[in-house]
Amino acid sequence: MVNAVALAEQVFSFIGVYAIVTLALNIKAGHTGIPDFGHAMFFGIGGIVVGNLAAHLAAALAAGSVPGVSVSGVLANNTATLNALNTQYFPSHPGVAIGLILFAIVVALVLGGIVGWLASLPALRLRGEYLAILLLATAEAVRIFVTYTKQIMGSTPTVGLSTPDLFAWAGDSGAAATVFTVLMAIIVFIVFERIHNSPAGRLFRAVRDDEDAAKALGRDVVVVRRDAMIIGSAVAALGGVVYALNPFLGGGAVAAASIFNRVFWTFWPWALMILGGMASNRGVVAATILVGVLLVWPIRVYKVQLAEALGASALGLDPNSFANALEYLLLGLLIILALALKPEGIIPEPPSKTLDFKQFAKRVLGKDSEAQ
């Protein structure tokens, strides 16, 4: 029997985190034309901030008041230390937990922006496939470095680090984390909508559409693309924080194999952006909702039954392997249908909302004439 409340929380959590990560990619690839195939690298920063930095800070604050908790134990005795914090410290210290959430958000935004800026230094003078390959190779190098650095991911990099349950004080950690995830997604959407209609957003798209024209008008194309990289990378790191704090997403732990996963945090955001509409924030959210509802329910819940209904056994296929591949088949099918029937995406890129000077002048002059 499926728990409807838990299922709804999983759906909203999926939609929230993928909306954040895909909107972050959209500001770089959709609005500015940067082919960022290393997006997972920036997402992983948020997971490290929660699993490592926030956990160390929590252990430092709780050391002495919770038996068995020490700063060195975060890496040396990770599971027992985080379990003690999650069961004995955070439930009775909501102020500390909320402070750690804010700390993780701020640090992730700053580190994501810095790494995005560093990545832009050698990369943004390149174009097209050269830039895409460079970002992909950089992300892979960072993943390997992080995976085998004990000071970052602990002694078991494939298992990862347990994360602090910073919503333990709320009673229902899953519900609180889901609300937090959706709230962060709404804030990111509002901010990116404001950017889309701002002069900065129009400049991003001008560089994307014609770099030479932008240069002729005196714009520094490298600076514009650098700014887009910093903003998008910082928000992608925020997505990593949301992922690590949500038990429906991270499962209470972060590992390099999960937070730097190219399929989940680079390919999927690209697919959702194409499906929703490049440079369309509303399209990205619509595609995320569509895929989230179809993916989490019914595929992840009833994937075994679906595999049997589709005749996996009759075709000689392994039902479990076929069931696990269903979500990829779904996303691939949606992309093919979108490219064939509506290549501009579910909601195409909207026009920029600029001031209508004729209407504005008519309104002002009309009021003036009425006053006279």
State pLDDT tens for residues 183-240: 999 999 999 999 998 889 999 999 898 888 888 888 888 899 899 999 999 999 999 9
Binning the chain into helix, strand and coil, the percentages to the nearest 5 are 75, 0, 25
Identity at 295, one-letter amino acid code: L
pTM to 2 decimals?
A: 0.87
Instruction: Dump pLDDT digits (tens) for 280-295.
Output: 999 999 999 988 887 7
Phi and psi (nearest 5°) for 260? -110, 20
Buried b (16+ CB within 10 A) or exposed e, 122-151: ebbeeeeeebbebbbebbbebbeebbeeee
Q: Which of 107-116, 156-165, 250-259 has the lowest mean pLDDT?
A: 156-165
Residue 173: pLDDT over 80: yes
Instruction: Dump pLDDT digits (tens) for 13-48.
Output: 999 999 999 999 999 999 999 898 999 999 999 999
| C-alpha 232: how far from chain center | 10
Indicate the helix (H) or strand (E) that contains 192.
helix 173-196
Q: Please answer whether residues 136 and 208 qualify as being in contact, where contact means their C-beta atoms are separated by less than 8 angstroms.
A: no
* CA atoms within a 13 Å half-sphere pointing along the CA-CB vector of 193: 10
Q: Where are the beta strands (DSSP E) in 107-192?
A: 161-162
Higher pLDDT, 5 or 229: 229
Tokens of 368: 């003036």
Identity at 146, one-letter amino acid code: V
Strand partners, 253: 162
Question: C-alpha distances in angstroms, 121 versus 126, 135, 225, 230, 368?
Answer: 10, 11, 10, 11, 53
Q: What is the pLDDT of residue 331?
A: 74
Indicate the helix (H) or strand (E) that contains 149.
none
Residues 6+ apart with CB under 8 A from 125: 222
Indicate the helix (H) or strand (E) that contains 82.
helix 78-84
Residue 121: pLDDT over 70: yes
Backbone region of residue 279 per phi and psi (left: phi > 0; alpha: psi in -120 to 50; beta: other values): left
Round to whole Å and give the CA distance between 210 and 221.
Answer: 10
Q: What is the pLDDT of residue 158?
A: 62
| C-alpha 319: how far from chain center | 31
Residue 149: pLDDT over 90: no
Q: Please answer whether residues 244 and 153 qualify as being in contact, where contact means their C-beta atoms are separated by less than 8 angstroms.
A: no
